[in-house]
Amino acid sequence: MIQMKNKLFTLQTTNTTYQMKVDQYDVLLHTYYGSRIDDSDLSYTIQSVDRGFSGNPYGVVERSYSLDTIPQEYTTFGTGDYRSSCLQVMNSDGSHDCELRYVKHEVYQGKKTLEGMPSIYGTEQEVETLEVTLKDEISNVEVILSYSVFETLDIIARSVKVINGADKQLKLQKVLSCCVDFHIANDFDMISFYGRHSYERAVERTPVRHGKLVVDSVRGASSHHQNPFVILCDHQATETTGNCYGFSFVYSGNFIAQTEVDQANQTRFVMGIHPTAFEFLLEPGDSFTTPEVVMSYSEHGLGQLSRNYHKVYRHHLCRGKYKTARRPILINNWEATYFDFDDKKLVKIAEDAAKLGIEMLVMDDGWFGNRFDDNRALGDWFVNEEKLKGGLSSLCERVNALGMKLGIWFEPEMISEDSDLYRAHPDWVLRTNGRKGTLSRNQFVLDMSRKDVEDYLFEAISKILDSANIEYVKWDMNRHLSNVWSAKLPPERQGEVYHRYVLGLYSLLERLTTKYEDVLFEGCSGGGGRFDPAMLAYSPQIWCSDNTDAIDRINIQYGTSFGYPISAVGSHVSACPNHQTRRSTPLHTRGVVAMSGTFGYELDINQMTEEEKEIVKEQTATFKRYYDLISDGDYYRLTNPFDNHYYAAWEFVAQDQSKALLNFVLLKPQSNPQIINIKLQGLDKEAKYCINDQTYSGQALMKAGFSVPVMYGDYTAAQFEIVKIS
Ligand code: GLA
């Protein structure tokens, strides 16, 4: 609900309030974000003091009034606010001035889509939008701030549109999507999710401090190294208590998330496209729209904050058939064969898999061009008939005849020097004029800002998808951008290439996912290197990590769960010893961990013993039985694997609280062991539940806890089904 009183705008969700106000100088102030309160004017909380060296806009008489100290909704560089700015322009005369003042506002039911970029969506009943227009009187630059309020979800989505109203060119040097000035609640920790290839989204919690704290990527992709999701919370906040604010950026390219604690101990948070190497030229009348930031707040700790994101991304971001349809349990041949496969080997894997309840075979890297290893052939998207005798349609028919679907791997954004595509179009490579460029995995990146490149990929991929009954695409991206320069753009537009790359990618994905609406797309970037909300709009699942070690995956999936739904987490059972860590874990444990995600296999099933195959059969049946609970239930992190090295536990609870599933892994067995008691969450406290034929009250399970039977052995795991009986 959006309440308005004399240019006071109060955005209400079920449990949160966000407020802004136009002041006497037409500056749009930020007055509050936090627990739900009424629509009282909260600008009384802003106390201005003359701090010295914090200047005053011309015409303002009070020396205490300075843009350098008051909380604002959208800040510009160059006119006296020395803190982090959201907008930096260069006017045609070379100046940076842009003084934004309120002009008008509009409120409407529903939410507009963003031009060329994914965003969350809702019906007119589900979401209401406020647009506030600000303007610089001298340059006629206009800025429209948009706030879409999803009341029942405690979600507010923000984006910004900049319009060049001048009759001369305007250069944008920085346009961020969101600023929140916390002038009252400001003693925060920042939680961010760092990592590297094969170890993504480790959780790091740091107190914010005077000066700036930055989480970012300039790799051209959201990256394994930092994720475009951060949380600001009380120092004392836990899974179940404390104030927590989430900021999630629906974008797959360079980003920045930054806190700044100022001279008055106020915290400013900003987020958006990274300004490094960014410039965007606007001709008179042109506009630029930013990607959106999805904000949420919980006064009941981190668990609730995560569940807010799980709901909004599951129901208001993911699209297409597989938003709701059950996704097939798949077997991927990558760790089974790497490049060493042919059609016979694949069909043999499919034959065994089909008998065990697995529903789809995914043919990974190596089926095209001259791709016998990872040094060549990217770009040559035609079938290697030496490997696949009879071509794709023959393979597909044989796999389909077993009752299995067939999926296929692509890495569309890439090009190998040793490829027909490179020989035909060396100028399609993203690299600086006249230089050799930087190789990574011995490959270059295609210039996705070019329409001809996008069209080529659309045709090449369509041709493959049309040639057989392909029902799944794994969309990979195995290096980051460097030497970013496009042969298609003039020098003054080279600062647009990083962003245009992302727009080209989105455009291609939009065209393909619309044309092949029944095909399941899975995102991937060397595992979870592009695990961001924007990619979820095209692919409802993303391969979470190239690290398939079940014990490492507990940490990786734990970190991922803070900002992303379990239904998005690509997770497979792989062979032992594990190929990345050489660790051995029981097959049952690998199943329990992989089930907290999309579930599948990534091993040579033909090498398994009969006993192991029986376990696989049980696992696929168990996953199908729990599918709804896992993919659509509420998720509770019960332990933090970064702190608790003894055991890990997590829980799914059905939306109607009729059922739950407790997952448990013993990380380090003890002799003469300490008893493990786990307090469950999310149950109906008035109800009775049954676990292993024993009855408990919901309240008892949540307050006194559940005592886990004593277990021994390396990485032993268990699942406990909790069923409501009355
Ligand atoms: C990336 C992916 C893997 C696999 C390989 C193939 O690393 O994350 O799953 O597809 O590429 O080259």
Q: Could you give the CA distance from residue 383 to residue 393 in angstroms, rounded to a whole number? A: 10
What residue's CA is closest to ligand 1, atom 12?
A: 365
- Give the pLDDT of residue 433: 86
**What is the Å distance from ligand 1's center to 224 Cα?**
14
C-alpha–C-alpha distance, residues 619 and 7, integer Å: 58
Whether 532 sits among the annotated catalytic residues: the reply is: yes
Cα end-to-end distance, the chain, whole Å: 37
Q: What is the C-alpha separation between 687 and 725, in angstroms, rounded?
A: 8
pLDDT the model gives residue 450: 98
Q: Are 669 and 645 in contact (CB under 8 A)?
A: no
CA of 561 to the centre of ligand 1 (A): 22
DSSP 8-state symbol, 114: B
Count H helices and E strands in the chain, helices first. 12, 39
Burial 346-375 (b: 16+ CB within 10 A, else e): bbebbbbbbebbbbbbbbbbbbbbebeebe
Nearest atom in ligand 1 to 546's CA = 8
* pLDDT score of 185: 64
Task: Determine how many CB atoms are found less than 10 A away from the CB of residue 697.
Answer: 16
Contact 269, 186 (CB under 8 A): no
Q: Cα–Cα distance between 566 and 555 in angstroms, integer?
A: 14
Which of helix, strand or coil describes residue 522?
strand
Q: Cis (ω within 30 of 0) for the bond into 577?
A: yes
Under 8 Å between Cβ of 706 and 691: yes
- Candidates 520, 514, 482, 719; CA nearest to 621 is 719
Q: Which atom of ligand 1 is nearest to the CA of 374?
A: 12
Cβ burial, residue 401 (10 Å; 0-12/13-18/19+): exposed
Q: In angstroms, what is the span from residue 309 Cα to ligand 1's centroid?
A: 28
Atom of ligand 1 nearest to the CA of 364: 10
Q: Letter for the amino acid at 725?
A: I
Measured distance CA(471)–CA(653) in Å, rounded: 31
Pairing mode of beta strands 244-249, 229-234: antiparallel
* 106 vs 285: CA distance, rounded Å: 21
Ligand 1 pocket member 574 (CB < 6 A)? no
All residues at 6 or more sequence positions from 22 whose CB lies less than 8 Å from its CB, including other chains:
7, 8, 28, 29, 102
What's the CA-to-centroid distance between 605 and ligand 1, angstroms?
19
Catalytic residue status for 335: no
Token pair for residue 623?
Answer: 């996953």
Check residue 434 and give its pLDDT: 87
Alpha carbon distance 601, 330 (integer Å): 6
Q: Residue 362: phi, psi to the nearest 5?
A: -105, 120
Residue 68 in contact with residue 55, Cβ under 8 Å?
A: yes
Q: Decide: 366 in ligand 1 pocket, CB within 6 A.
A: no
Per residue in 419-442, pLDDT tens?
Answer: 999 999 999 999 998 899 999 999
Closest CA to 637 of 309, 310, 308, 306: 306
Are the CB atoms for 19 and 10 separated by under 8 Å?
A: yes
Whether 409 is in the pocket of ligand 1, judged by its Cβ within 6 Å, is yes
| Residue with CA at minimum distance from ligand 1 atom 6 | 365
Extract the residue ranges of the chain whose pLDDT is less than 50: none
Residue 15 identity: N
Strands 717-724 and 676-678: unpaired
d(CA 207, CA 361): 46
**Cβ(545)–Cβ(199) under 8 Å?**
yes
Beta bridge partners of 212: 260
- Exposure of 140 by Cβ count < 10 A (0-12 exposed, 13-18 middle, 19+ buried)? middle
Nearest CA to ligand 1 atom 11: 526
* 524 Cβ inside 6 Å of ligand 1: yes
Which is the catalytic residue, given 73, 532, 549, 651?
532
From the CA of 601, how far away is ligand 1's center (Å)?
14
How far is it, in rounded angstroms, from Cα 200 to Cα 104? 44
**Ligand 1 site, residue 528, Cβ cutoff 6 A:** no
The structure's pTM equals 0.98
CB 172 within 8 A of CB 85: no
Best mutation site among 334, 472, 531, 539 for ligand 1, i.e. most ligand atoms within 8 A of its Cβ? 334
